[in-house]
Copies of this chain bind each other. A is one copy, B any other.
C-alpha cells in the first residue's frame, strides 16, 4: 500500500480523501441497476475515480444478509486483492483444500469414500479457493465503495420499471423507478450509461428486448445452509456424494467452522410444473439429505437459509443495446452483466464469480471512455469478450450437471465424473478465461517469449523481491483495480538497468513515446531483473523507474524488482520467460495479458497501441 504521498494523513489509509462535491442524483455518468456481485464489483471499480459520478440502486430494502452463492474461485480472490480486501475474505472464509468423492460401495451398496483429491492444483494461483457467504462479499465491496473519494453507497427501495433512449446528448438514457418505500411515487434518473446488473429476471434486459436462450432443463435442486450434528466423517470437506438410489448431494463446508451447505438433487419437474408447485419445505430437504447420507446420522439444529430451483443453462442474445448489424456505428449505452446475461446451475460455484468477472471486464472500459482515455469503440469489446465466456460457461455447466445427476451405473462411469471434475479444476478456479485476439489482445506471434504468461489470460503472479526494501512479494499484487494499464519489463541476461543497458534504452524510448507529464498515471511501468537483488543498485536505475510524484515530487520506490532466487520461486522459471532476451508484457487494467513483445521493441508497442482504442498522450 502506498500512501502519505501528498502529506501525512492520520487514520485508516484505505479511506481516500473525500471529493468536495454533492452526490449526483438525477443525472449521472453511470447508473447501475442491482446490488448483486456484478453491480457491486462495477460500483467498487467506478468508486475509485473521483471524476466519475455513479449511482447504484436496488429494489431490495437493504443489503443481502443470508444465502445465495458462496463459492469464491481463486481468480476472484486475485481480483479482490486488486480491490484490497482479499486478506479479509481469506480470514473469514472456509478454505477448500480437498474434495472427497463418495459412491455406493460395490459390496454393501452403502455410500463409501472412493477418493480424495486436492481441490486446486499446486501453483494455479497464489490464492486459495474459498467459501464465504455472498453477503459478506457484498459487505467488503460496500466498504470499498464507502471508502472511495465519492463515498458511494447504494440507494435501496428503487425498482426499475422502464428505460428509454432520449435525445439528451449528455445523458441519453432515462430510467424510471418505482419507489418501494413510498408506494405510488417514482424517481427518474438520467445517465450516460446504464448497466443492468439486475439478475436472472433482468428488467434492463427486457427493456432492451433481449432474452435468455437455451434449454429449460427440468432438474430440480434444493440448497440449504445448516447447523447440524453428524457422524458423516467428511462433513468439513467438500464432498460429491452419489448414492445408489437416493440421488446426489454436494457438501460445501462453510465459514466459521460449524455451518455446512448442502446441494440436494430432487425429482425432475414434469410438464409445466414449476419449483414452487412442489410446496417444498426445509424439512423435505433435510429428509432427502438424510436418505442420501444414510447410514450416517444427520441431526439438523438450525436451517439458516434454504431455497429450491430449477437448473437451466441459458445465455442472453445480446449484452448491450447495439444490434449486431449496427456494431461500430453507434456507441453502446445500455449493458447487462452477471445473471442478467447467463444462468446456470450453482454446482460449479460459478454464479458469483462469473458475474463479478463480467463487471470487472466492463468497469475499466467505462472509466477509460468517461475519462477520455479511450475511444468509445472500446465498449464494444465487452460484449465480444464476455458473450464468448458466457457460452463456454453454459456448455461447461450442462456437461457438469448431466454428469452429476447421472446415477453412476458402474465404477467406470463414476470415475468418469471424477476425472471430469479434476480436469476442470482450472476452469472452475476461473483462471482459464482467455480473451481472443482483438484490438485489446495481441495474437500469439510473441507468445514464445513467455509461454507461462498466455496472451489473453490473466497475468499469472509469481514471487519477486522488491529492490528498494528487499521485500519478498507477489508481482501481480502491484496491479490494483485503478484502471491503469501496466507494462512489465523482464530484463534479459546481464541487464542491470545501468546506463547503456537495454532497460535504460527502453526507458528512454518509452519517455519519447508517451508524454511523461503525469508520470505513470496511465501506464504503470514495472521492471524485473534476473540478478540477485543485492547485485542491483537503485542509484544506477533510469529515472523513469524512480518517478517523482504528488505535490512534493516524492520518489516512488516500488517500480523495480529482482527475481526471487529461492527454489521454486524464480519468476523467469515459473513463467518460462526468455532469459536471454527478456520480454515486455503489457497487461490490461483487468489483469489480462494484452500483449507479449520483444524487450525494447518500441515500434511493436506503438503499433499495438495505435491499433487499440486507447488514447495515450503521445509525444509528437
- Give residues in A with beta carbon < 8 Å to B: 1-5, 7-8, 10-13, 65-66, 87, 91-92, 94-95, 97-98, 116, 135, 139, 225, 227-229, 231, 233, 235-237, 253-259, 301-302, 304-305, 468-472, 534, 537-539, 548, 552-558
Main secondary structure on A side of the interface with B: loop
Q: Closest B residue to A88 by CB, please name it.
A: B87
Whether B256 lies near A2 (C-beta < 8 A) is yes
Chain B residues lying within 8 Å of A98, measured Cβ to Cβ, are: 469-470
Q: Closest B residue to A253 by CB, please name it.
A: B469
State how many angstroms separate the Cβ of A257 from the closest Cβ of chain B.
4
Q: Once the chains are docked, how many angstroms separate the CA of A139 from the CA of B15?
A: 14
User: B91, B228, B257, B539: which contacts A556 (Cβ < 8 A)?
Assistant: B257
State how many angstroms separate the Cβ of A62 from the closest Cβ of chain B.
11
Whether B4 lies near A256 (C-beta < 8 A) is yes
Chain B residues lying within 8 Å of A471, measured Cβ to Cβ, are: 95, 97
Q: Once the chains are docked, how many angstroms separate the CA of A12 from the CA of B501?
A: 52
Q: Contacts A13-B92, A95-B469, A97-B469 hold; do A557 and B236 have CB atoms under 8 A apart?
A: yes
Kindly name the residue among A65, A66, A135, A552 whose own CB sees the greatest number of chain B CB atoms within 10 A. Answer: A552
Whether A468 lies near B227 (C-beta < 8 A) is no
Number of copies of this protein chain within its complex: 2
Chain B residues lying within 8 Å of A553, measured Cβ to Cβ, are: 229, 301
Q: Contacts A1-B92, A2-B256 hold; do A97 and B139 have CB atoms under 8 A apart?
A: no
A–B complex contacts, Cβ < 8 Å, 30 sampled: A1-B92, A2-B256, A2-B258, A3-B256, A4-B256, A7-B227, A7-B304, A8-B66, A8-B225, A8-B304, A10-B66, A12-B139, A13-B92, A13-B256, A87-B87, A94-B469, A97-B469, A98-B469, A98-B470, A116-B534, A231-B539, A233-B537, A233-B538, A235-B557, A236-B557, A237-B470, A253-B469, A301-B552, A301-B553, A301-B554
Whether A97 lies near B558 (C-beta < 8 A) is no
Whether A87 lies near B97 (C-beta < 8 A) is no
Q: Closest B residue to A93 by CB, please name it.
A: B1
Chain B residues lying within 8 Å of A2, measured Cβ to Cβ, are: 256-258
Q: Contacts A13-B256, A65-B10, A256-B13 hold; do A552 and B3 have CB atoms under 8 A apart?
A: no
